[in-house]
A and B are shown apart, each in its own frame.
Chain A
Amino acid sequence: MNDPSKTQNSRRNFLKKATVIAGAPMIVPSSVLGLGDKVAPSNQIVLGGVGLGPRGRKDLDCFLKQPDVRFVTVADPQAARRETIRRFALKLHNNDEVKPVQDMYEVFQRDDIDAVLIATGDRWHATASMIAAKHGKDIYSEKPCTMTIRESQELDDTILRYGRIFQAGTQRRNVDNFKVAVDLARSGKLGNIKAVYAGIIRLEEDLEWLPAENEPDKAVIDWDRWLGPAPWRPFNMKYCNGRWRGHHGLATGYKLLEWGSHTIDLCQWAVDADGTTPVEFEAINDTTVHAKYGNGVKLIMRLAGFKGEGDWKPGLGSCPVRFEGDEGWVEAGDYGKIEVSNPKLLEGYKFDPKMQGTDPIKHVRNFLDSVRSRKPATCNSTVARYGHVAGHAAAISWKLGRKTQFDPKTEMFVDDDEANRMRSRARRAPWSV
């Protein structure tokens, strides 16, 4: 779907010239690039940005450190933010060709752009990703990638339909210590896995609307575009300064997916569950949700925090995970370290203990290599689909305050109409895909 807010003429122009690109872009594989050297412009991956705030800048910095990336434009409904990105690229990377635009369709419609980095708030991630896919772009999207179970399905289907490369910004699959921890689980070195633990922050739902303020001029902040597919609410500048987080309709999953999109993702990987989800969810309280896979393995989502909250090994950092087998256990967190039941488990592994879990550098590289090879990225849309569905289902169970049964094949709750109604939410018109 084209930008519905545009005139008919612009829509017609778009449909005439920009549609879908099915195959690979004309880019030479990275194996022949010699990535340490300068890359010829014809072999560069041309990147556009959408909604790049503080996290987006971190991602962008990683992209700009790659010799085969050329960053040319950023779209943001906030003038100040897009100008910040232009200056960031200029000052830190000597890039003077970034053209800031307000409308993300201007990025998607550019024929010269191969890939887009989407780092808006939660509300836009899936919708923008799907629109980008229909315009033939490959996509790196920050997390949580979807607002609902249904959106998780739609995103995956759309990416597959258009043959695009998608990388969810759940970078811990490309962070050394987490990879080692997962390998210990998957290789059988911990014995049969009985339970996996995903660190989450406290679940809560903020239904409040902040007090209405006068909307700024659209050239400064286009509030309608900022909201996009999210439910309408009156303007308040705090939302635009990052205080959208936690607000129902702007953020997703009652905060469970804030960290859960990372940690559940790792747990899914550890128990080889990338194409499925747990079959049962039960919220114990606001800090713990129990789930169970069809084979009996438990997934326990429980409180963690920046200050070592929760029942985790101290000093591992945020977003911890723990995998327990009948012969041992392993625990890892964002500070790059690993704790194991027996030090011998780590024999033969080499990893950089200084690499932080928040660092997307290797994840970005993985995405770019996938753009070249056309092989799925580590956290492709299907991986993201099931990890996010598991998170959304857990959050719905918490919201309902009761145990729910879930069918991973239909991705529906079993005999629970109320829960199933919570699998989706209408997107605000005209923003759709």
Chain B
Amino acid sequence: MKTLRLTTLAVLVAAVSIAPLQAADETVLIAAVAEDGVTLYAKAMACDELGKIGTAKAVPALSKLLADERLNDYARDALERINDPAAGEALLDGLSWLKGSLRIGVIISLGDRGDAAAVPALAEIAKKKGEDENAAAAALNSLAQIANEDANKAILSVLADGDQVAKTAAAHAALAAAQRLEKAGKKKPAAKLRSAAQAAGVPAPVKKVAKR
């Protein structure tokens, strides 16, 4: 219960050698994330707590951890949960300088946040121009989670113009977006996505799901 947070904070305060416990929680946590010499463990715990109470103030420190292979998901997790555009912007920025799995993680997080501002960038990745297929598939999944008009257009575009591998990934995304839209009562765009998934020349089993 509450005592657990105090215990965590006490560990972090000790780790960064600053501030009495009654200092603002977030200040202590940001310091633990940002300062050199703090253990991986303390940084991870600080990220966990910032995910619960962090604000835009924590974003710069968390952004720096995105490049750390061990702590990337802790930082992403906190950024996903901070309900401030600055967190989304930091993740979006990560697309330009992160590589491999770390970058795919950011793509996934942008979808989990439902960040509409990320749609143009995700759409570019989904088109696979110079992208690896896993990044493109992750981008399509994230577009499906956002499922606004532009995201749907991007999915439809890949269904129309992508190669077979991309089309199949886009068909999965189209079905996920359609399900989301149907739940929101938006039957027309959902039907369009299902129809496109059926018509896209994807394997027959996917078409069967699209018909459902």
Interface segment, one of B13-21, B133-141, B150-158: B133-141
A22 touches B77 (CB 8 A): no
What is the CA–CA distance of A144 and B3 in the complex, to the nearest angstrom? 26
Interface segment, one of B28-36, B117-125, B198-206: B198-206
Kindly report which residue of chain A lies nearest to residue B207, judged by CB atoms: A22
Kindly report which residue of chain B lies nearest to residue A224, judged by CB atoms: B101
Given contacts A16-B164, A418-B53, A432-B138, contact A427 B205 (CB under 8 A): no
A34 contacts partner chain B, Cβ-Cβ < 8 Å: no
What is the CA–CA distance of A286 and B2 in the complex, to the nearest angstrom? 12
Query: Which residues of chain B come closer than 8 Å to A2, judged between CB atoms?
Result: 134, 137
B71 contacts partner chain A, Cβ-Cβ < 8 Å: yes
B112 touches A4 (CB 8 A): no
A421 touches B133 (CB 8 A): no
What is the CA–CA distance of A421 and B132 in the complex, to the nearest angstrom? 32
B8 touches A427 (CB 8 A): no
B169 touches A399 (CB 8 A): no
Query: By CB atoms of chain B within 10 A, which of A1, A136, A398, A401 has the most?
Result: A1
Chain A residues 285 to 335 lying within 8 A of chain B, measured CB to CB, are: 286
Kindly report which residue of chain A lies nearest to residue B178, judged by CB atoms: A161
B129 contacts partner chain A, Cβ-Cβ < 8 Å: no
A209 contacts partner chain B, Cβ-Cβ < 8 Å: yes
A162 contacts partner chain B, Cβ-Cβ < 8 Å: yes
B10 contacts partner chain A, Cβ-Cβ < 8 Å: no
A49 contacts partner chain B, Cβ-Cβ < 8 Å: no
With both chains docked as a complex, state the minimum distance between the C-beta of A288 and any C-beta of chain B, in angstroms.
12
What is the CA–CA distance of A205 and B52 in the complex, to the nearest angstrom? 16
A11 in complex: contacting residue of B112, B134, B208, CB < 8 Å: B134
B72 contacts partner chain A, Cβ-Cβ < 8 Å: yes
What is the CA–CA distance of A21 and B44 in the complex, to the nearest angstrom? 40
Taken residue by residue from 26 to 55, chain A's Cβ proximity to chain B (1 for < 8 Å, 0 otherwise) reads as: 000000000000000000000000000000
A23 contacts partner chain B, Cβ-Cβ < 8 Å: yes
Given contacts A4-B134, A20-B209, A21-B205, contact A426 B83 (CB under 8 A): no
Query: Which residues of chain B come closer than 8 Å to A429, judged between CB atoms?
Result: 72-73, 76, 101-102, 104-105, 108
With both chains docked as a complex, state the minimum distance between the C-beta of B126 and any C-beta of chain A, in angstroms.
13
What is the CA–CA distance of A425 and B138 in the complex, to the nearest angstrom? 17
A15 in complex: contacting residue of B69, B169, B176, B212, CB < 8 Å: B169
A428 in complex: contacting residue of B2, B105, B164, B172, CB < 8 Å: B105
With both chains docked as a complex, state the minimum distance between the C-beta of B155 and any C-beta of chain A, in angstroms.
15
A4 touches B1 (CB 8 A): no
How many A-B contacts at CB < 8 Å in the complex? 127
B209 touches A22 (CB 8 A): yes
Query: Which residues of chain B come closer than 8 Å to A424, judged between CB atoms?
Result: 80-81, 112
Q: How many residues on the A side are at the interface (Cβ–Cβ under 8 A)?
A: 46
B179 touches A161 (CB 8 A): yes
A360 contacts partner chain B, Cβ-Cβ < 8 Å: no
Taken residue by residue from 51 to 82, chain B's Cβ proximity to chain A (1 for < 8 Å, 0 otherwise) reads as: 11100000000000000011111101100110
A207 contacts partner chain B, Cβ-Cβ < 8 Å: yes
Query: Which residues of chain A come closer than 8 Å to B2, judged between CB atoms?
Result: 400-401
What is the CA–CA distance of A21 and B212 in the complex, to the nearest angstrom? 12
B175 contacts partner chain A, Cβ-Cβ < 8 Å: yes
Query: Which residues of chain B come closer than 8 Å to A106, judged between CB atoms?
Result: none
What is the CA–CA distance of A429 and B80 in the complex, to the nearest angstrom? 14
What is the CA–CA distance of A4 and B211 in the complex, to the nearest angstrom? 28
With both chains docked as a complex, state the minimum distance between the C-beta of B52 and any C-beta of chain A, in angstroms.
5
With both chains docked as a complex, state the minimum distance between the C-beta of B75 and any C-beta of chain A, in angstroms.
9
A161 touches B175 (CB 8 A): yes
Taken residue by residue from 74 to 104, chain B's Cβ proximity to chain A (1 for < 8 Å, 0 otherwise) reads as: 1011001101000000000000000001101
B212 touches A163 (CB 8 A): yes
Give 28 CB contacts A-B under 8 Å. A4-B101, A11-B134, A15-B169, A16-B165, A19-B168, A19-B202, A21-B208, A22-B211, A134-B172, A163-B209, A205-B4, A231-B44, A231-B77, A232-B69, A232-B71, A232-B73, A399-B4, A400-B1, A401-B1, A422-B52, A424-B80, A426-B105, A427-B108, A429-B101, A429-B102, A429-B108, A430-B104, A430-B105
12 further contact pairs, Cβ within 8 A, besides A157-B179, A161-B179: A8-B134, A19-B203, A22-B212, A161-B176, A162-B209, A232-B44, A248-B48, A426-B76, A426-B109, A426-B112, A428-B105, A429-B101
Which residues of B line the A interface, CB within 8 A? 1-4, 8, 41, 44-45, 48, 51-53, 69-74, 76-77, 80-81, 83, 101-102, 104-105, 108-109, 112, 132-134, 137-138, 141, 164-165, 168-169, 172, 175-176, 179, 202-203, 205-206, 208-209, 211-212
The 10 closest A-B pairs by CB, nearest first: A429-B105, A22-B208, A401-B1, A426-B77, A401-B2, A428-B73, A421-B81, A22-B209, A430-B101, A4-B134
